[in-house]
Amino acid sequence: MKKNIELLYALSHEEKTGYKLPYTEITQDYVNESLPNDWVRKELFLPNVSEVEVARHFFNLSKLNYGVEDGMYPLGSCTMKYNPKMNEHVAQYDGFQKTHPLQADNTVSGNLFLLFDLEDMLCEITGMDAFTLSPAAGAHGEFTGILLIRKYFEDKGEADTRTIILIPESAHGTNPASAVAAGFDVEEIKSTATGEVDLDSLREKLSDKVAGIMLTNPNTTGMFESNIKEIAALLHENGSLLYYDGANLNAILGIARPGDMGFDIVHLNIHKTFSTPHGGGGPGAGPVGVKEHLISYLPEPIIGIEDDSIELPDMDIEEKLYRMNRMDKSIGRIRLTDSSFSVLVKAYAYILTLGEEHIHEVGENAVLNANYIKAMLKDFLYSPIALPCMHECVLSASKLENGITALDISKRLMDYGFHPPTNYFPLIIPEALMIEPTETETKEEMDRFITAMKTIVRESKENPALLKSAPTNTPIRRTNDTKAAKDLDIAYKRR
Ligand SMILES: Cc1ncc(COP(=O)(O)O)c(C=O)c1O
């Protein structure tokens, strides 16, 4: 019999208790006298339950969840790859875990050194000249990067005229959202049949109003922008900047660098590239790197050295002192604490584990795995782009019979024990199923996924009703996605 997981409030009974508070001399009368009346709560609305009920409640809830440790999680673009336990282990060292974000700098010099060294590694990996580790997620990094673009043009006296950010129609929704949030207007550039930037559309849109362009490379159709050098030249000749959305850097890690392609600013989605937890939009980490001409606008605080008598291994002290002294036109703070420190420790551990010698294997294996899945499924699902892909492939349910949609395929996949791929993104591909196995999946697990997909395509012909009613083996059946998105109400209401 399936367990009905009730809310703890439903199990609550006034005679039950799961805790005992230590004796205190502070009496209720004392509290009432010493605190303003409207600060004192008359009732604390907490359930009265026993310890074992709490333990079972949360354990059973955790079993309803699906994570990358349950099986393949091919959520293209969002990149849910396995986070090695070594990262977690290192992040739990006392010296890392038991420090406070507001602790005095001279008591955490080891931690600052780690961040300092990580900045250097990220510069080396991306080909940029300096990094800020402050942003809390990819989208927060985008917002920070766009503020840097604004500041750059303010400094040049062009803020009032450079008002447009160009974004390809295949872009992730956070790109236009970040540009608009930072006060820019957005104009869309068309894509070619292979999902790349349409150069004619780009030329048409270029004007002295354009502040910059936001691109991800490989782009969201999983294709490498083969004209990136030409795109960079066009933008720079126009006096505009290039922003790199680093969501897909995992495809080219250790092989190609955005800095060498001509990008002026990059953000990195640490969870995608360097195997840290995603953090649901934060607290994750989305470091932003810039080229030389933008260093002085980086957000505060920047880690630096005040004194050249300090010796640090493998550090170019002159460069660091120089970097600090340039921070005179900063955009200011972008968050209360300096960074999501433990997330950055995990990324640091991951980079060191792979080392210079092996880091390129991440992208190579991610690309190999995505192409394996694409090749195995191309005769079963429509493949709108025939060319080999990078780290993710986009297939389409648009040619299936019986009105079967990408959503039906995804819901049925849950019955076979897989997390669905990304649906309906990028927007330029109808009924898109964007599959990203990542480099960490084994061939056996990918074969299990491929078999499930082939079975579902067969079911779509033989028993479409089954797909339409899927999922059938999950704790919750098909939900009303539109209602969930538009009518979000997640607060517990006391009856
Ligand atoms: C292409 C692209 N850009 C930006 C983002 C936003 O990143 P984050 O979820 O870290 O805020 C994503 C997230 O999946 C993405 O796929």
Which residue lies with its CA nearest to atom 7 of ligand 1?
138
Q: Whose CA is nearest to atom 8 of ligand 1?
A: 138
Give me ligand 1 centre to Cα 287, in Å.
13
Q: What are phi and psi of 379, to 5 degrees?
A: -85, -5
Domain borders along the chain are: 8-64, 99-357, 361-486
Q: Are 464 and 403 in contact (CB under 8 A)?
A: yes
Q: 118: closest CA among 273, 279, 263, 335?
A: 273
**Percentage of the chain surpassing pLDDT 70?**
93
Q: Which of 77, 81, 167, 178 to mutate to test the pocket of ligand 1 (most atoms within 8 A of CB)?
A: 77
What angle (nearest 5°) sits at the alpha carbon of residue 489, between those of residues 486 and 493?
A: 160
3-state class (DSSP) for residue 166: strand
pLDDT of amino acid 476: 86
25, pLDDT greater than 60 = yes
Contact predicate 438/271, CB 8 Å: no
pLDDT tens figures, 122-137? 999 999 999 999 999 9
Tell me how far apart the alpha carbons of residues 187 and 197 are, in angstroms, rounded to a whole number.
Answer: 13
Distance CA 25, CA 338 (A): 39
Substitution site in 80, 174, 214, 248 for ligand 1 pocket (most atoms within 8 Å of beta carbon): 174
Using the mean position of ligand 1's atoms as its centre, give its distance from the Cα of residue 402 in Å: 33
- Work out the pLDDT band at 14, boundaries 50, 70, 90: confident
Contacts of 185 (CB under 8 A, 6+ apart): 163, 164, 165
53-57, 277-281, 333-337, 455-459: range with lowest mean pLDDT:
277-281
Residues 381 and 457: beta-carbon distance below 8 Å: yes
pLDDT confidence of residue 279? 61
Residue range 20-29: mean pLDDT, rounded: 87
Q: Output the CA torsion 436→438→441→445 (10° steps).
A: 0
- What does the mean pLDDT of the chain come to? 91
CA distance 392 to 221: 8
Class of domain 361-486: alpha beta
**pLDDT at residue number 338:** 87
Look up residue 396 and give its two tokens: 């389409």
Tokens of 257: 């660098």
- pLDDT band of residue 431 (cuts 50, 70, 90) is very high
Q: Does residue 470 register a pLDDT over 90?
A: yes
pLDDT value of position 331:
94
- How many whole angstroms separate alpha carbon 74 and alpha carbon 67? 11
Quote the Cα angle for 252-256-261, to 5°. 120
Of ligand 1's listed atoms, the one at least distance from the Cα of 171 is: 1
Contact in structure between 377 and 61 (CB atoms under 8 Å) = no
pLDDT confidence of 46, banded at 50, 70, 90?
A: confident
* Per-residue pLDDT, 324: 58
**What is the Å distance from ligand 1's center to 248 Cα?**
9
pLDDT at position 391, please? 97
Phi/psi at 114 (nearest 5 deg)?
A: -60, -45
What is the DSSP track for 256-268?
Answer: --HHHHT-SEEE-
State in Å: Cα 350 to ligand 1 middle.
20
- Confidence check: pLDDT of 417 > 60: yes
- Whether the Cβ atoms of residue 327 and residue 301 lie closer than 8 Å to each other: no
Question: Mutation test of ligand 1: which of 80, 269, 334 has the most ligand atoms closer than 8 Å to its C-beta?
Answer: 269
Atom of ligand 1 nearest to the CA of 140: 11
Question: CATH 3.40.50.2000: does it fit domain 99-357?
Answer: no
Greater confidence (309 vs 243) lies with 243
Say what the pLDDT of residue 321 is: 56
165 beta partners? 186, 212
Q: What is the mean pLDDT of residues 341-346?
A: 95
Q: What is the mean pLDDT of residues 396-421?
A: 97
Q: How far apart are CA 334 and CA 338, in angstroms?
A: 9
Q: How far, in Å, from the CA of 192 to the mean position of ligand 1?
A: 22
pLDDT tens, position by position, 284-342: 899 999 999 999 999 988 887 666 655 555 556 566 555 555 567 999 999 988 899 99
The closest alpha carbon to 143, from 100, 180, 188, belongs to: 180
Whether 99-357 shares its CATH topology with 361-486 is answered no
- Kindly indicate the confidence band of residue 2, based on its pLDDT and cuts at 50, 70 and 90: low
Closest ligand 1 atom to residue 142 Cα is: 4
Output helix, strand, coil percentages for the chain, rounded to the nearest 5.
40, 10, 50
Atom number, ligand 1, closest to the C-alpha of residue 278: 10
| Closest ligand 1 atom to 284 CA | 10
129-133, 446-450, 476-480: least confident range: 476-480
Say which amino acid occupies 472.
T
Whole-number Å distance, alpha carbon 172 to ligand 1 midpoint, is 7
- Predicted TM-score (pTM) of the model is 0.90
CB atoms within 10 A of CB 386: 9
Q: What are phi and psi of 303, to 5 degrees?
A: -80, 135
Asked if pLDDT for residue 85 goes beyond 80, the answer is yes
Tell me the mean pLDDT in the region 84-102: 94
Contact partners, residue 259, CB within 8 Å, separation at least 6: 126, 127, 128, 129, 266, 289, 291
User: Rounded distance, CA 216 to CA 97, Å?
Assistant: 34
The DSSP line for 10-46 is HH--TT--S--PPP-S--HHHHHHHS-GGGS-S----
Tell me how far the alpha carbon of residue 286 lies from the centroid of ligand 1, in angstroms: 10
Given strand 422-423, what is the order of strands in its sheet?
393-396, 432-435, 422-423
Q: What confidence score (pLDDT) does residue 369 get?
A: 98
Between the CA of 175 and the centroid of ligand 1 the distance, in Å, is: 9
Range of weakest confidence among 92-101, 248-257, 299-308: 299-308
Q: Could you tell me the distance, in angstroms and rounded to a whole number, from the CA of residue 312 to the centre of ligand 1? A: 35
- Interval between CA 243 and ligand 1 midpoint (Å): 14
What residue ranges line ligand 1, CB within 6 angstroms? 77-78, 137-139, 172, 174, 216, 220, 245, 247, 269, 281, 284, 286
DSSP 110-133: HHHHHHHHHHHHHHHHHT-SEEE-
Strand ranges inside 120-240, DSSP E: 130-132, 164-168, 185-189, 210-215
Lowest average pLDDT, out of 112-126, 143-157, 197-211, goes to 112-126
How many residues are present in the chain? 495
pLDDT at residue 182, as a whole number? 97
What average pLDDT score do residues 215-244 get? 97
Nearest protein CA to atom 16 of ligand 1, as residue = 77
Ligand 1 mean position to 473 CA, how many Å?
30
* Residue bearing the bigger pLDDT, 326 or 175: 175
> 40 pLDDT band (50/70/90 cuts)?
confident
